[in-house]
Structure 1
């Protein structure tokens, strides 16, 4: 069961996130992660949840996306589609906002080869580096950027710490990612004919980053 905690008057927590934080969720698959947060908080008014593709593409790919989006919006969250992690800081809505937490769970550049191929590793690195460069522009001075990521070979080769440093971000900690902390969250493959199926998480962690010198 998820870690629903209360810290302070009226503040609700789930995992690393609270109802007192402004939260941007990037590339949320079928929006089940944003829904888990909004349900735990009792409101989604502090959440902006995004997808890479259009709404039409989203509901075609994921069986529960239409219902999840509806539930998230009913709880007051802002839902945005066609948000690319590599240029999101220029989006009409986002460019005037700053967030306490920016979350990108299991970024992936698509299935264009075997994960261990350097061409694929470099493609993933390019995606993450672009995300870091954009996310830092949308981050509050003492906010955090979180990437949940699989551990071990070949995922360690992405070298998230170095990519973050190149965008003037410091890694402040790595903590274990446990799916059961976010009830209802369902990680999706997101690409190809099996896009609606979950991928194997194995050992995964959340990497936390901040602006250099902000801590």
Structure 2
């Protein structure tokens, strides 16, 4: 006579539910939606978002934004106070279930509680800038500070990257931006440039680039020629 099974059907069902909650159970495939280099099937972290219009453009394209974490270095109060369209972008993100974070230092991402236990397929930093400098962007101080910002960002972002993930940095082309040594900094952290492609604001409907610092913080500016640099560790 065969013995009784060691676990009841109820126990097995409960174990399966626990496995599913832990993200270890294979779910039904989602419908993929894409915009340019980004997919609704990727986990995406955006830093330095300012008015959150870029992440909002992704959320709208994906329809659901559960795969998006959008962050700003500013406090929520400052974001809503200085950017006149930020509220609508944030509401769009949150209504589509994105995680919106404030006071996130792009150079210390791996130390942020909400990020430290997660990995991302894409970490995106558009038009990074260390702030306003009285001597202008060509000054030695500005070049030094922006180089440090990029280097520290890349070091931190690599710690949150999935095995085949990518770090995307969109930056202006030419001087003084080439002096920021983006590609050299990437090599220092075991990253290589997979591809660089032209960045066009029109490809992301609703995106509005802002100065982000100084007296004209909410003003847009002419982008000129920009490239998105895509780095990977594999």
**TM-score w.r.t. length of structure 2:** 0.86
Q: Which residue of 2 aligns with 1:208?
A: 230
Counterpart pick for 2:213 among 185, 188, 191:
191
Q: Which residue of 1 aligns with 2:129?
A: 108
Measured in 2, the distance between the counterparts of 1:192 and 1:152 equals 23
Does the 8 Å contact 2:50/2:74 carry over to 1? no
Does the 8 Å contact 2:30/2:41 carry over to 1? no
Give 1:59-138 correspondences, 5 Å limit.
59-112=80-133, 113-138=135-160
**CA-based RMSD:** 1.1
Question: How many pairs were matched up?
Answer: 205
What SS does the aligned partner of 2:178 have?
A: helix
Q: Which residue of 2 aligns with 1:3?
A: none
Q: What's the CA shift for 1:118?
A: 1.5
What SS does the aligned partner of 1:67 have?
A: helix
Q: What's the CA shift for 1:196?
A: 0.5
Q: Which residue of 1 aligns with 2:40?
A: 19
Greater strand content: 1
Q: What's the CA shift for 1:9?
A: 7.0
- 5+ residue gaps in structure 1? 1-7
Which one has more relative contact order, counting CA pairs under 8 Å at least 6 apart? Answer: 1
**Is residue 175 of structure 1 aligned with residue 190 of structure 2?**
no
Q: Which residue of 2 aligns with 1:53?
A: 74
Q: What's the CA shift for 1:52?
A: 0.2
**Is residue 146 of structure 1 aligned with residue 168 of structure 2?**
yes
Q: What's the CA shift for 1:199?
A: 1.7
**TM-score w.r.t. length of structure 1:** 0.93
- 5+ residue gaps in structure 2? 1-28
What SS does the aligned partner of 2:229 have?
A: strand
1:1-27 Cα deviation digits (max 9, x unpaired): xxxxxxx97211001000000000001
**Is residue 165 of structure 1 aligned with residue 196 of structure 2?**
no
**Is residue 36 of structure 1 aligned with residue 68 of structure 2?**
no
Q: Which of the pair has more CA radius of gyration?
A: 2
Does the 8 Å contact 1:61/1:190 carry over to 2? no
Measured in 2, the distance between the counterparts of 1:199 and 1:119 equals 22
Q: Which runs of 4+ in 1 moved over 2 A?
A: none
Q: What's the CA shift for 1:67?
A: 1.8
